Chains A and B, each alone.
Chain A
């Protein structure tokens, strides 16, 4: 059984650019959530996808968008990057929607210059 994987590991972008981050959920998990973690802070919930539909969203602007594919993998897209978007982006999957036991990936470190 493979765990949650994310790509790329690190990414450097400039302000105004767009970025796509990818996540493969743990085998059998149909729910994927994305979190943003700024340095020294706890992760902040961005949104969740369940069976390819958005299933809840945190306090993030519309330029943060996502997709979930039939194989339950997921993408996080961020448009018009700002300096404050620099953070660790974490993907988490769970076996059952609504359960708080989440399995997190190692994250993608995004730096916006």
Chain B
């Protein structure tokens, strides 16, 4: 399974757009890119999944360039409640998930 690299932490202010980039240089042809969000003392929550180009849902957007060696999770107009750890996963759409250490996003008022 491809290994992912993401920033350990990021800070933002309420109302700003936050972009978290994930590197996955060894991504395989059948790998999907999936992002999860985790609040303290809770289980992770699925945010978004994509294979290529751009995917958007009510929570976030996921941008994937043509070479698929990286991806960017975009959170529009963050609020304090978006403070959490965000995990980037790359897998063959398997349910045996492999998490890294994630990116801790802190949103300030």
Contacts and interface: CB of A to CB of B under 8 A. Distances in A.
A72 to B, nearest CB: 14
Contact of B96 (A41, A58, A104, A106): A58
Interface in B50-109: 87, 89, 91, 93-102
A45 B97 contact: yes
A44 B96 contact: no
A107 interface: yes
A41 B101 contact: yes
Given A40-B101, A42-B102, A102 B42 contact: no
A56 B1 CA distance: 15
Contacts of B42: 104, 106-107
A4 interface: yes
B96 A45 contact: yes
A48 interface: yes
Interface residues of B, number: 22
Contact of B97 (A4, A40, A43, A91): A43
Contact of B100 (A42, A97, A103): A42
A104 B45 CA distance: 7
A105 interface: yes
B45 to A, nearest CB: 7
Contact of B93 (A41, A58, A90, A99): A99
Interface string B34-51: 100000011111100100
Contact of A94 (B45, B49, B87, B95): B95
A48 B43 contact: no
B34 A43 contact: no
Nearest to A31: B95
Given A100-B46, A104-B44, 4 more contacts: A40-B101, A41-B101, A100-B91, A101-B34
Interface of A: 4, 31, 33, 35, 40-45, 48, 56, 58, 88, 90-92, 94, 97-107, 109
Interface of B: 32, 34, 41-46, 49, 87, 89, 91, 93-102
